[in-house]
Structure 1
Amino acid sequence: MTPQSFMAGVIAGAMLLVGLAMLPALYRLLRGPTVPDRILALDTLFVTAIAELMLLGMHLGTAVYFEAALVIAMLGFVGTVVLSKYVMRRDIVE
């Protein structure tokens, strides 16, 4: 077994595990029970999507996916802050 094939297997396994980690977060996003739980699940999905894109970029050896992960990270942060602020105050702009 060469180091390249071993690394490809490890990356594929990690992608599978991260994909499986998305399932409970998706369930919590859809089922609730409260709005803060759903916001936290959405943030968790953002983080796991970033991890999937990083692993895919490593697997394919291209930097395009890293840039896409950076965009998702920025949008995820802003989205979480806006949703949290709306839940806390029922107003986004002060």
Structure 2
Amino acid sequence: MTALWIAISVLLGLAALLSTARLMLGPSILDRALSVDVLVASALTGIGAYAAFNRDPTVLPILLVLSLIGFVSSVSVSKFVVRRHLDEAEGAEERGWNT
């Protein structure tokens, strides 16, 4: 049981480390948003593993709130990117540029 817990911790830590590297190096906002989603998913998985190993259902509201925050942030970023892209396209059309 301890070996499984160590393996889960190492893999989730590695995922979080690689996601943090992508967050720092990502050239676009979508790369950074994706890395934040991976960090949230890693946190959700870690908390879920803790709840499963310790049979502790009291962390379920934390899982629910964290998943809702992750979903809302993903939708917000995608709407922002689409709106910015549409505004840039409209500005190019007004100036007579082809996009």
Q: TM-score range by the shorter chain?
A: 0.7 to 0.9
Is contact 1:8–1:59 with CA below 8 Å preserved after alignment? Answer: no
Is contact 1:50–1:69 with CA below 8 Å preserved after alignment? Answer: yes
CA drift of 1:64 comes to 2.0
Distance 1:46 1:30 in 2: 16
Q: 2:38 is matched with which residue?
A: 44
Amino acid at match of 1:24: L
Secondary structure of 1:33's match? coil
Runs of at least 4 residues of structure 1 off by over 6 A? none
Is contact 1:15–1:55 with CA below 8 Å preserved after alignment? Answer: no
Higher relative contact order (CA 8 A, sep 6+): 1
In the alignment of these two chains, the number of paired residues is: 84
Distance 1:40 1:26 in 2: 11
How high is the sequence identity, in percent, across the aligned residues?
A: 32
Q: Which of 64, 74, 84 pairs up with 1:70?
A: 64
TM-score (norm. length: structure 2): 0.75
**What is the root-mean-square deviation of aligned Cα atoms in Å?**
1.4
Q: 2:27 is matched with which residue?
A: 33
Greater C-alpha Rg = 2
- 1:1-94 matches, cutoff 5 A: 7-90=1-84
TM-score (norm. length: structure 1): 0.79
